[in-house]
Amino acid sequence: DIQMTQSPSTLSASVGDRVTITCRASQNSNSWLAWYQQKPGKAPKLLIYKASSLESGVPSRFSGSGSGTEFTLTISSLQPDDFATYFCQQYSAYSLTFGQGTKVEIK
């Protein structure tokens, strides 16, 4: 299985900050990567697919980049609604696998 490693595990930031989360794959995943946001007690929500494609309805402050084994999710200006946990997911090969998550907390 392809192992996905996110960093950092926890991130403390303020409203308006630029935030970057990194996801590394143990094998080449090309651009087959998605990012999700999850709030406590809720299901995950798709933000980005194919590494850099923004899902319809997702604010443009979210962006994704990368290919191969290194990927990033960037929030250009953190908003109060963005405090949540973020997961990456590779879909280059079965089994589909997720990163362990990055919790974005209020500083």
User: Minimal distance in Å, beta carbon 60 to other proteins?
Assistant: 18
Q: Which is nearer to other proteins, 77 or 105 (CB)?
A: 105
Residues of this chain, 44-63, that bind other proteins according to CB under 8 A: 44-46, 49-50, 55
Question: Per CB under 8 A, does 32 bind other proteins?
Answer: yes
DSSP string, 79-104: -GGG-SEEEEEE-SSSSPEE---EEE
Instruction: Dig out the tokens for 27 from the structure.
Output: 């094998």
**End-to-end CA separation in angstroms for the chain:** 35
User: Minimal distance in Å, beta carbon 14 to other proteins?
Assistant: 26
